[in-house]
Amino acid sequence: MSPVAEPASEASDHVAPNRTLCAVPVRLPFNAVVETNVHAVQLYRSLGFGVLGTVPEGFRHPTEGYAGLRIVHRAL
């Protein structure tokens, strides 16, 4: 796993409860992960994130073409 991705995700847990989005408190961290990025998908699952859904062909990979974009979330 990436030496940067896991600490960055964990750090966001401390920031997210204190942020607002359109005057609504953000209590649900979310992110988007390209489904071909197997390591990132595994990392988010190991951190307790679930998949909300996948945007078909939501990401244009430079060598693999279009790939699905998974929207992941985890309740705090």
Q: pTM here?
A: 0.61
Going by the DSSP 8-state scheme, the letter that residue 28 receives in this structure is: S
Residue 1 has pLDDT above 80, yes or no: no
CB 40 within 8 Å of CB 33: yes
Instruction: Convert the pLDDT of each residue in 4-21 to its tens digit.
Output: 456 655 655 555 555 544
Please name each of the domains of the chain with its CATH number: 5-73 (3.40.630.30)
36 or 76, which is more confident? 36
Strand partners, 21: 24
Q: What angle do CA 44, 12, 6 make, to 5 degrees?
A: 40
> Hey, how many other C-beta atoms are within 10 angstroms of the C-beta on 54?
15
7: its two tokens: 């600490």
